Amino acid sequence: MSNRPARGATNNATSARFALPAQEMDGDWLDWRETVDGVEPVLRTSVSIERPRTILSRNSSPDIPFDRSINPYRGCEHGCIYCFARPTHAYHDLSPGLDFETILFAKPDAATLLRAELARPGYVAKPIAMGTNTDPYQPIEREWRITRDCIAVLAETNHPLTITTKSDRVVRDIDLLVPMAMQGLVSVTLSVTSLDPVIARTLEPRAPHPEKRLAAVATLAQAGVPVFVSISPVIPAISDHEVEHLIERAAQAGARGAYFLPVRLPHEVAPLFRAWLETHFPDRAGKVMAIVRAVRGGRDNDPGFHSRMRGQGVWGELLATRFALACRRHGIGKGHPRLRCDLFRPPAGAQGELFG
């Protein structure tokens, strides 16, 4: 099985969960499969416009610290092999593999929809999370600027916001984030899973270099924006040896806190991850999966609330202990600041202002 240059998934398998037909590999797909002089061409990214009726997604999961989120994009060009959002592409008759990384959808009406939702009578402000599904600062944000437009609406209305990203592009919006931070309205988390450029390049092939992300942490911290580092996911026998060093570097950059999760492999992510292991780490693929199953109660994935975020068994306990000791040693905290919700005001011209 060959690997696509600068892509995470090693194949484009379809999902069997929704009884979807297999895609025919014709037209451009055949061009994609053809090789020239034995070298496979780069698989290009396409972006289509999606026009949803609403932009706020709601959840009631007891182990997730937010009840609403915004996803400006569907699919993610970063190509992280472990991404738990990959299975969402299967709902649209697309592969959670290479399709997820290359067939993207942008929602240019997001800011307009957000303004309308915030203006609804009776709307109660609670932190909105961005980056909980696909990355709001993936490469296409450079041209589309949908994330920035949404943040501008939240800044205008004094609405609390949390951002999680793997991209230093978040610093581009520091002009919006600093005033929000001064009012206790925003926190940012940068995800840094490995400092080894080889591991990072295979895990997250189109995400910025880890050093760029740490530089973004330092820039945000110096500007007064509460910033945190996620070393999630920790992958046994691949990146777990870096836990202490990652915490040290996060503290040096000025992060206020850190957190981690053992790797999760829901639905179609598990076979994609196995194929990735066989391609990039064939010498330890069996060992990695054996530890993953030990952490996940004997399965590739544990879907249970709370336990899915912590892991089980001796390995899970050891990882949690190492993480806690490293945080203590480097004076870095856990958890996020409580963002203010009492400053929210409906968008200008909204019905709610008539009764303010």
Rounded CA-CA distance 208/182 in Å is 28
Confidence of residue 337 (pLDDT cuts 50, 70, 90): confident
CB-count burial class (<10 Å; 0-12, 13-18, 19+) for 38: exposed
348: pLDDT strictly greater than 70: yes
Q: What is the pLDDT of residue 267?
A: 86
242: pLDDT strictly greater than 50: yes
Q: What is the pLDDT of residue 22?
A: 41
Q: What is the pLDDT of residue 19?
A: 47
165: pLDDT strictly greater than 90: yes
Q: What is the pLDDT of residue 159?
A: 98
296: pLDDT strictly greater than 80: yes
Degrees, nearest 5: CA angle 235-315-236:
15
- What is the CATH code of the structural domain delimited by 44-336? 3.20.20.70
261: pLDDT strictly greater than 50: yes
- Which residue type is seen at 239? S
pLDDT, average across residues 93-97 = 93
Whether the CB-CB separation of 188 and 220 falls below 8 Å is answered with yes
- List, for residues 120-160, the tens digit of each pLDDT value: 999 999 999 999 889 999 999 999 999 999 999 999 999 99
Rounded CA-CA distance 75/48 in Å is 11
Q: What is the pLDDT of residue 323?
A: 96
- List, for residues 45-88, the tens digit of each pLDDT value: 999 999 999 999 998 666 567 789 999 999 999 999 999 899 99
24: pLDDT strictly greater than 70: no
* Nearest Cα to Cα of residue 94 among 268, 227, 245, 218: 268
